[in-house]
Amino acid sequence: DSGVTQTPKHLITATGQRVTLRCSPRSGDLSVYWYQQSLDQGLQFLIQYYNGEERAKGNILERFSAQQFPDLHSELNLSSLELGDSALYFCASSYPQAPIDEQYFGPGTRLTVT
Amino acid sequence: AQSVTQPDIHITVSEGASLELRCNYSYGATPYLFWYVQSPGQGLQLLLKYFSGDTLVQGIKGFEAEFKRSQSSFNLRKPSVHWSDAAEYFCAVGDITTSGTYKYIFGTGTRLKVLA
């Protein structure tokens, strides 16, 4: 158990809908990262937040957005869902370390868009 | 662009046999390298990491990896595989972003099957 929690575990929804995925980082961690794992794209970095502020962006679609709240939990919002958004969404968290933060991954949320 | 290649999509070994999973990276500077394991229905667990120093690094569950700069490789090894090692293995490199933080770039993964 990494200490990172994600809810819900599974989510089934229809095309065009909007969903929110939630992530609670490990106690003391300030950074939250979101990754998407799909069969055709593999594991891809979406976005990072550090202490409430966006720090880095990866291959995140404009239909997707995220935020990190004062209690450091994070939410990933996916809107106008398409079949291709079906994937496993991972959250990871870290605290500042040198030379590079070590990321701890949650169990993921499996999103199925029908 | 930085990239990680895992040439083997699937590998099957017998229990007790040795294992080597290949990973090649493309990165301009000194790479920060990781191996993660993903068991079915689970998240990713860090097996080991390489930042600098000794090129042979030891990890959890009896795994080790060797960094070879000349070959741009970071192969994962285990001398004797157990049935519980059946999982998917991901190699990753830390890639610096414009804000100075690091994101991970993952390979496509190698699925390991262990025969009894």
Tens of pLDDT, residue by residue over A54-92, are: 999 998 999 999 999 999 999 999 999 999 999 999 999
Residue type, B80: S
Q: What percent of chain A has pLDDT over 70?
A: 100
Mean pLDDT of chain A: 95
DSSP B61: G
pLDDT of residue B45: 94
DSSP string, A31-63: EEEEEEEETTTEEEEEEEEETTEEEEE-S--TT
Across B4-26, average pLDDT: 96
Give the residue among A33, A22, A39, A30 at the shortest CA–CA distance from A78: A22
pLDDT of residue A93: 96
pLDDT, position B100: 84
Is the pLDDT score of A30 beyond 90?
A: yes
Q: Tell me if A58 sits within 8 A of B103, measured CB to CB.
A: yes
B32, B43, B46: residue with CB nearest A100: B32
Can you read off the two tokens belonging to residue A95?
């605290």
pLDDT of residue B42: 82
Minimum distance, in Å, between the CA of residue B107 and any CA atom of chain A: 8
pLDDT for res A52: 96
Distance CA B22, CA B58 (A): 16
pLDDT per residue as tens digits for the range B25-60: 998 777 999 999 999 878 899 999 999 888 999 999
More confident residue, B102 or B15: B15
Q: Is B72 exposed, middle or buried (CB count within 10 Å of its CB: 0-12, 13-18, 19+)? A: middle
Residue of higher predicted confidence among B53 and A108? A108
CA gap A43, A22 in Å, rounded: 19
Res. A5 pLDDT band, cuts 50 70 90: very high
Angle at A29 between CA A51 and CA A7, to 5 degrees: 90
Q: For residue B52, what pLDDT is reported?
A: 86
The closest CB to that of B51, out of A35, A45, A99, belongs to A99
On whether the CB atoms of residues A104 and A2 are closer than 8 A, the answer is yes
Whether residue A33 and residue B103 make contact (CB cut-off 8 A), yes or no, is yes
As a whole-number percent, the residues of chain B with pLDDT over 70 amount to 100
pLDDT of the residue at A28: 93
Give the number of other Cβ atoms within 10 Å of residue B67's Cβ. 22
What average pLDDT does the segment A33-49 reach?
93
Q: pLDDT by residue (tens digit) across B60-76?
A: 999 999 999 999 999 99
Q: Using alpha carbons, list the distances in angstroms from residue B1 to A46, B25, B32, B36, B96.
A: 17, 11, 15, 22, 11
Predicted pLDDT at B96? 87
**pLDDT for residue B84:** 95
Say if strands B10-14 and B110-115 run parallel, antiparallel, or are unpaired. Answer: parallel
Dig out the tokens for A72 from the structure. 């450091």
What CA–CA distance (Å, rounded) separates A106 from B2?
25
Distance to chain A for B13, nearest Cα, Å = 24
- Beta carbons of B114 and B86 less than 8 angstroms apart: yes
Q: What is the mean pLDDT of chain B?
A: 93
A48 close to B (CB below 8 A): yes
Question: Is A42 in contact with B108 (Cβ distance < 8 A)?
Answer: yes
Q: Is the pLDDT of residue B12 over 80?
A: yes
